[in-house]
Amino acid sequence: MQLGFLVDLHLCMGCKGCEIACKVENEVPLSTWRLRVKYVDVGTFPETKRTFTPLRCNHCENAPCERICPVSALHYIDNGIVNIDKERCIGCAGCVMACPYGAIYIDPETQTADKCTYCAHRIASSMMPACVVACPVEANIFGDLEDPKSNISKYMQQHTDVQVRKPEKGTNPHHFYVGASQVHLNPLASKREEGYNLFNKITTLPLGGHH
Amino acid sequence: MVHETLAATNAVVTLDVALPDIFWGWFVTMNMWAKSIGTGLIFMLFLLLRKNSSEMSGLRTPTIIVSFIMMNVFLLFTLADLHQPFRMWHIFFYPHWTSAITVGAWMATVFVGLEFVMMAMMIRKDKCLLTSNAIASFDKLLLWVTLLAIPVTLYTAGIMAESTARELWQMPTESVQMILAATLSGSAAIILLGGSKLSEESQRFFGVILGLSALMAFIIYMSEYIFGAMKSEEVAVILGYVKGNGEYATMFWIGQWVAYILPMVLVALSRTSGSASILKLAAILAIVGLWIVKHVWLVIPQLLPLS
């Protein structure tokens, strides 16, 4: 079994229900996110539209975070999930440097690395990840990539525009997008103006490190 | 081509989380800088042994002590940079051998252990229990420590190569830069440590190593500066931080001048004038400048948004 995620961006409406569900399920501290939805506005007024991209750990088949972790705190489990053992993590931030998707952060409460685990604890109890359950439009499709009859496999068979983020990195992500453009997937394809958040002016967070 | 430059797209991020601040900051710079001096001194001591062993007599003890201190500074800052420093022992009890961090931690530990033995030999050479001829043993051990110093110097480049999110750090380039940093700072440190104990010929020899290391490192940085942006859009954006009005442009050029350009000029001047003082000034500048150069190169890839 190799579990994977697919997000149909045609369906996503940016409600952030997945983000909140993840926060609650995994007790993700303030200022950090395992999953987040990025908004990018495209075009020039009045011809504008807003795009939504849920971003989480890609659970790569060839995960740079797993490779660089000096103590195997980041490790694969049999179903393909890249899991994290927070009791073992030494907080070197090597994984933060290695993840090309910026999906790993240092938990300010435990001072250890943390990221999306596809809700491995729920899957162990035969439940779906919290974000999948919360999505009102079923934009999050989760399942076994090795099973041709799984929902995710069928979805991938039916759609031709299945993409991953940064394929050139050779990480073989187990996280796919349907209906994505460069603006969705390439962080350099959109401007980040000072104070780019709708709700505040914070552009950087002091999450550790010394500079 | 960066998409947002297209007027038709005009894509602007309107809601996202704040970017994480710099994770590997000046503690890691201290780590790399101190290690360069620590292993560089060993390389230079070995060269001196091969070139003119008669000049070793007054240099074995101070050189090994300074190298040992710098290696401990390196280990101290490595430890201090961990968010869970009391779990450092996990590296030895749960080692993950695909990680350059693990391999490096083990090699550095062995290296410092051997340095401790060498230092003990020299400090207690009259009472040394290991051998009756401490100096001969020291020189024999120096060969093996020098060989070990090569991977200890290089492993940080391995970590940078495994940091796949940071496009600027590429393995072949970084490994050469690590070795050059060691030869630059090592030759500078031994010029300062050796002083009048070094013959004029040896001073000139280490001056040449200093000047050539500075030249080669400068060429590599300039090659990256000029041509790097052609490789990928990530590198182009990262190098933008040290170009024009970039956030780190001033610091970058201060580093290049202090670490490389001025020492090169001063080494040349010292050769023509025969002045040891000018050579020492070059050595001091190289050591100080190396810290700045390393810091800029460490920080700028971390400014790039990844998602």
Q: Name residue A44's beta-bridge partners.
A: A47
Note the pLDDT tens digit of each residue in B140-184. 999 999 999 999 999 999 999 999 999 999 998 999 999 999 999
Look up the domain containing B70 and give its range. Answer: 3-303
Q: How many domains does chain B have?
A: 1
Residues of B in contact with A97 (CB under 8 A): 23-24, 159, 163, 165-166, 302
The C-alpha torsion from B74 through B75 and B79 to B82, rounded to 10°, is 50
Mean pLDDT of all residues in B127-141? 75
- pLDDT above 90: residue B133: no
Q: Is the pLDDT of residue B227 over 60?
A: yes
Average confidence (pLDDT) over B209-224: 98
Contact B20, A101 (CB under 8 A): no
**The predicted structure's pLDDT at residue B117:** 95
pLDDT at B127: 60
Nearest CB among B25, B234, B307 relative to A209 is that of: B25
Q: Tell me if ipTM is over 0.95.
A: no
Tell me which chain A residues have a C-beta less than 8 angstroms from the C-beta of B163.
64, 68, 94, 97-98
Q: To the nearest whole percent, how much of chain B has pLDDT over 90?
A: 82
Mean pLDDT within B184-208 = 95
Q: What is the CATH number of domain A3-189?
A: 3.30.70.20
Other CB atoms closer than 10 Å to residue B304's CB: what's the count? 20
The mean per-residue pLDDT over the stretch A129-152 comes to 96
Q: Binning pLDDT at 50, 70 and 90, where does residue B10 land?
A: confident
Quickly state the pLDDT bin for A197 (edges 50, 70, 90).
low
Query: Band of the pLDDT at B15, cuts 50, 70, 90?
Result: confident
Assess contact for A51 and A181: CB atoms under 8 A. Answer: yes
pLDDT in tens, A49-67: 999 999 999 999 999 999 9
**Each residue's pLDDT tens digit, A159-191:** 999 999 999 999 999 999 999 999 999 999 988
Give residue B1's pLDDT: 45
The band of B126, judged by pLDDT with boundaries at 50, 70 and 90, is low
Chain A residues in contact with B14 (beta carbon < 8 A): 39-41, 50, 196, 198
Find, in chain B, the residue whose alpha carbon is nearest to that of A55: B307
* CATH classification of the domain holding B72: 1.20.1630.10
Chain A positions in Cβ-Cβ contact with residue B96 (cut-off 8 Å) = 69-72
Q: How many CB atoms lie within 10 A of CB A5?
A: 25
Residue A45's pLDDT is what?
Answer: 84
> For A137, phi and psi rounded to 5 degrees?
-115, 10
What pTM does this model have? 0.93
In chain A, pLDDT over 90 holds for what percent of residues?
A: 83
Q: Which two tokens stand for residue B243?
A: 């170009």
Between residues 83 and 112 of chain B, which touch chain A (CB distance below 8 Å)? Answer: 83-85, 87-88, 90-91, 94-96, 98-102, 105
Which pLDDT band holds residue B9 (cuts at 50, 70, 90)? confident
